[in-house]
Amino acid sequence: RASSSKNYLINFCSRKIKSAEKEPGLFDRDSVILLWRLLVVLLKQNGSIVGQDIAELLLSERRESNTSNHGSHDAEETITNTASGPVKSEEEVTGHFRELLLYGSTKEALEWAMSHGLWGHALFLASKVDARTYANVMMRFANGLTMNDPLQTLYQLMSGRQPAAVTLAGQSPVSRMPQTWFLGEIRV
């Protein structure tokens, strides 16, 4: 009898989901559908739910909304680069980062963010993980700048280190920073 009541409730929730999907004027329709789906998951698992279940529920909802909006992409976002495959938009890259986090893959999400230029997300996430991870992400960010970049010089000064540009300035005229070259021209 408990099984038939459970099945009845699951069927009831499924009908409510279908009804909400067909009603475009429903206030906050996506949230209503999500709540009904959550109730179905709770019923199927006898009231016990873990973070992974919630993540899958949220991601399935997100995938459905992405597939319905898929036709509205700009032509720019679908341009392909012959050397490296399709070029992903910032929204797609951030979406994958979000999915990795929702599935609990923090280290993989950090690596993804850094390799795809999402330095703000990478630095914020690393600051919440631990000091060592944060230091590693900061180092990778700083090492991504060229040695004679004025920002690299500023960051090294603010870190209390001697800027690499100082040691490069005396090596050869070609490797000097543009500011040094300009000052040399003024003195002549």
pLDDT of 6-15, one tens digit each? 889 999 999 9
- Collapse the DSSP code of 28 into the 3-class scheme (helix H, G, I; strand E, B; otherwise coil) and give the result: coil
**In the chain, what is the greatest distance between 2 CA atoms, to the nearest angstrom?**
98
Q: How far apart are CA 78 and CA 89, in angstroms?
A: 8
* Alpha-carbon dihedral sign for residues 137, 142, 145, 146: negative
CATH code assigned at 125: 1.20.58.940
Q: How far is CA 17 from the centre of its chain?
A: 30
Beta strands in the chain (DSSP E): 80-81, 85-86
Q: How far apart are CA 36 and CA 41, in angstroms?
A: 9
Q: How confident is the model at residue 177 (pLDDT cuts 50, 70, 90)?
A: low
Structure tokens at 154: 């500023």
Structure tokens at 125: 């996430």
Whether 79 is in a domain gets the answer no
Residue with tokens 């991601």: 59
Mean pLDDT to the nearest integer, 90-117: 91
Structure tokens at 75: 């032509």
Q: How confident is the model at residue 76 (pLDDT cuts 50, 70, 90)?
A: very low
The answer to whether 97 and 109 have CB atoms below 8 angstroms apart is yes
Q: For residue 92, is pLDDT > 50? A: yes
pLDDT of 18-69, one tens digit each? 999 898 888 888 889 989 999 999 998 888 888 778 878 877 766 555 555 4
pLDDT of 130-175, one tens digit each? 999 999 999 899 888 888 888 988 888 888 888 887 776 666 555 5
Q: How far apart are CA 127 and CA 133, in angstroms?
A: 7
pLDDT of residue 115: 95
Q: How confident is the model at residue 179 (pLDDT cuts 50, 70, 90)?
A: low
- Which of residues 68, 101, 121 is at a domain's end? 68
Whether 78 is in a domain gets the answer no
Whether 26 is in a domain gets the answer yes
pLDDT of residue 121: 96
Same domain, 32 and 8: yes
Q: For residue 94, is pLDDT > 90? A: yes
Mean pLDDT to the nearest integer, 93-103: 89
Same domain, 95 and 55: no
Q: For residue 89, is pLDDT > 80? A: yes
Range of the domain at 32: 2-68
The answer to whether 140 and 118 have CB atoms below 8 angstroms apart is no
Amino acid present at 38: L
Whether 132 is in a domain gets the answer yes
Whole-model pTM: value is 0.52
**Per the structure, how many domains does the chain have?**
3
- Collapse the DSSP code of 69 into the 3-class scheme (helix H, G, I; strand E, B; otherwise coil) and give the result: coil
Mean pLDDT to the nearest integer, 102-110: 89
Angle, in degrees to the nearest 10, between helices 131-143 and 106-115: 10
The answer to whether 45 and 54 have CB atoms below 8 angstroms apart is no
